[in-house]
C-alpha cells in the first residue's frame, strides 16, 4: 500500500498523493483532470483510478484561480519577495509577460520549507506554462520540482544544472568589490563589514567581494561581524555598539544590506556620532529609503530593471521556441555606486 499525505488542516488527499499513486508527474495529473482530451485514454484511466482509490477532492479555490487564465500562467517561486531590487525586477518581468498574455503567479516559498508536498499541490493546481526559480536555495524543493518537470524551468540566482532549461547566475561579489573600492578611494583605511542572516550564496559572494577589494589595496580585512540575526534596522542598531567597542579606530562601516546600514545610522544619531565625519556608513541594494535616510545613504545599485527585461526576453524566447545566443553572466549590466552624504 502506498503512503499518502493529508492536506494540512483539512485531512484531504493532495494532488501530489494522486501523482505518486499513479506513478506520474503532478503536472500530468493536473492536465488529465482539467483537460482530459489532451492526454491518452490509458493515462486518463490511470489517473482516474488513483483519484477514485484515494478519494481525491480538488482544491476548489485553487481551481477557480487557475482556470481564470488556463494555459497562460508562469509561476515565480522566490524567497526574496520583500527585497527592493527583487521587487523592481519582478515588476518589470510581470509587465513584459503580461504584454504577451501571461499571468505571473508569485509564490513565496519560505513558509513551505517543511511541507513540500503541500507546496507542490498548490503549485501544480495551476496549468503552468513555465516555472521560474528566483533565488531558491532549498535543494530538496528544487529536486522535487525537477522530478515533476513537464514545463520549462528557469533558474535565477544560485546555479543548478540538473534538467533546468535556463540558468542565469547572479554574482554580487563585483558589486561589493566596487562599493568597497569606492570607500577606500574616499580615503578611509580602517573599514569594517557588517553582515547578518541572509541567503548563504549571497553572503559568500558579498564577503568575497569585500575581501578581494581589501586585499587588492593592502588593507586589513579582519574587522567583520556576521550576526545570526535578521538583516534589518534593529540588528544594525543593536550591533553598532559592540563593533565600536571592538574596533574604536573604525572610520567606515560597510553593511551588506541597506536595512542594516539605516539601523546603524539611527544608532549613530542616538549616540551623537557624526556621520560621515566620525564614522562613514554605506549599504547595499539602493533601496528607496536609502535616499531619504538622514544623512542619505551611500549604497550600490544593481540594475534590476535591465535584468528583469533580460530575464523576460530569455523566458519568452524559450516559450516561443526562439533560439538566440545570450550571455547568462549579465556581464554588461555593471553595478552602479550611489555616492551620498553618509560617506
Residue 67 sits in the same domain as residue 121: yes
What is the residue-averaged pLDDT of the chain? 84
- Provide the 3-class DSSP secondary structure of residue 235: helix
Distance CA 330, CA 254 (A): 25
Task: Say which DSSP state 298 is in.
Answer: B
Angle at 14 between CA 8 and CA 15, to 5 degrees: 145
290 lies in some domain: yes
Residue 70 sits in the same domain as residue 12: no
Angle at 257 between CA 261 and CA 214, to 5 degrees: 85
Residue 294 sits in the same domain as residue 250: yes
Residue 160 sits in the same domain as residue 276: no
- What is the structure's pLDDT at 63? 53
Residue 164 sits in the same domain as residue 307: yes
- What is the structure's pLDDT at 114? 57
Domain housing 255: 173-302
Residue 260 sits in the same domain as residue 200: yes
pLDDT digits (tens, 9 = 90+) for 53-105: 888 876 644 554 545 444 588 999 888 777 778 888 889 999 999 999 998 98
Look up the pTM and report it.
0.74
Residue 188 sits in the same domain as residue 293: yes
- What is the structure's pLDDT at 331? 62
pLDDT digits (tens, 9 = 90+) for 190-228: 999 999 988 788 889 999 999 999 999 999 999 999 999
> Exposure pattern of 6-45 as b/e (b: 16+ CB <10 Å)?
ebeeeebbbbbbbbbbbebebbbbbbbbbeeeebeeebbe
What are the helix (H) ranges across 217-303? 233-246, 258-270
Contact (CB, 8 A) for 43 and 33 = no
Count up the domains in the chain and report the number. 3
Cell of 177: 568589490
CB atoms within 10 A of CB 293: 21
Contact (CB, 8 A) for 74 and 103 = yes
Does pLDDT of 126 surpass 50?
yes
Distance CA 200, CA 196 (A): 10
Does pLDDT of 15 surpass 50?
yes
Helices (H) and strands (E) in the chain, counts: 12, 11
Distance CA 19, CA 269 (A): 58
Residue predicted with more confidence, 243 or 85: 243
In 215-311, the DSSP E strands lie at 224-230, 252-255, 280-282, 299-301
Angle at 184 between CA 180 and CA 190, to 5 degrees: 95
Residue 267 CA: distances (Å) to CA of 148, 184, 240: 49, 23, 7
281 lies in some domain: yes
Q: Any long-range contacts for 288-291 (C-beta under 8 Å, 24+ apart)? A: 288/84, 289/258, 289/262, 290/258, 290/261, 290/262, 290/338, 290/340, 291/340
Query: Residue 293: enclosing H or E segment and its boundaries?
Result: none
Contact (CB, 8 A) for 127 and 151 = no
The residue among 163, 128, 125, 127 whose CA lies nearest residue 142 is 163
**Residue 284 exposure: Cα atoms within 13 Å on the Cβ side:** 29
Residue predicted with more confidence, 26 or 174: 174
Residue 296 sits in the same domain as residue 185: yes
Residue 164 sits in the same domain as residue 313: yes
- What is the structure's pLDDT at 252? 98
The residue among 16, 48, 12, 13 whose CA lies nearest residue 33 is 48
Residue 114 sits in the same domain as residue 179: no
- What is the structure's pLDDT at 262? 97
- What is the structure's pLDDT at 187? 97
CATH number for position 326: 3.40.50.2300
101 lies in some domain: yes
Amino acid at each position: 500500500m502506498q503512503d499518502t499525505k493529508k492536506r494540512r488542516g483539512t485531512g484531504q488527499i493532495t494532488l501530489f498523493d494522486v501523482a505518486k499513486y499513479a506513478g506520474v508527474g503532478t503536472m500530468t495529473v493536473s492536465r488529465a483532470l482539467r483537460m482530459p482530451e489532451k492526454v491518452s485514454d490509458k493515462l486518463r484511466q490511470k489517473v482516474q483510478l488513483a483519484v477514485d482509490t484515494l478519494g481525491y477532492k480538488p482544491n476548489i479555490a485553487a481551481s477557480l484561480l487557475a482556470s481564470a487564465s488556463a494555459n497562460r500562467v508562469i509561476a515565480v517561486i522566490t524567497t526574496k519577495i520583500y527585497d527592493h531590487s527583487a521587487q523592481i525586477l519582478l515588476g518589470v518581468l510581470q509587465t513584459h509577460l503580461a504584454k504577451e498574455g501571461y499571468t505571473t503567479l508569485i509564490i513565496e516559498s519560505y513558509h513551505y520549507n517543511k511541507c513540500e508536498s503541500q507546496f507542490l499541490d498548490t503549485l501544480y493546481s495551476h496549468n503552468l506554462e513555465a516555472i521560474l526559480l528566483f533565488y531558491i536555495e532549498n535543494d530538496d524543493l528544487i529536486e522535487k520540482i525537477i522530478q515533476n518537470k513537464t514545463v520549462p524551468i528557469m533558474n535565477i540566482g544560485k546555479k543548478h544544472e540538473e534538467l533546468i532549461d535556463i540558468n542565469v547566475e547572479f554574482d554580487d561579489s563585483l558589486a561589493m568589490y566596487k562599493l568597497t573600492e569606492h570607500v577606500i578611494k574616499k580615503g578611509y583605511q580602517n573599514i569594517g563589514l557588517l553582515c547578518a542572516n541572509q541567503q548563504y550564496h549571497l553572503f559568500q559572494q558579498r564577503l568575497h567581494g569585500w575581501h578581494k577589494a581589501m586585499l587588492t589595496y593592502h588593507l586589513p580585512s579582519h574587522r567583520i561581524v556576521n550576526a545570526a540575526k535578521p538583516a534589518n534596522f534593529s540588528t544594525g542598531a543593536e550591533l553598532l555598539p559592540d563593533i565600536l567597542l571592538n574596533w574604536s579606530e573604525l572610520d567606515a562601516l560597510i553593511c551588506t544590506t541597506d536595512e542594516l546600514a539605516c539601523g546603524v545610522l539611527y544608532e549613530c544619531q542616538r549616540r551623537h556620532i557624526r556621520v560621515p565625519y566620525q564614522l562613514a556608513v554605506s549599504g547595499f541594494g539602493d533601496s528607496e529609503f536609502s535616499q531619504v535616510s538622514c544623512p542619505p545613504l551611500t549604497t550600490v545599485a544593481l540594475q534590476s530593471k535591465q535584468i528583469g527585461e533580460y530575464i523576460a526576453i530569455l523566458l519568452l524566447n524559450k516559450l516561443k521556441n526562439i533560439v538566440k545566443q545570450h550571455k547568462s553572466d549579465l556581464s554588461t549590466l555593471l553595478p552602479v555606486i550611489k555616492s551620498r552624504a553618509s560617506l
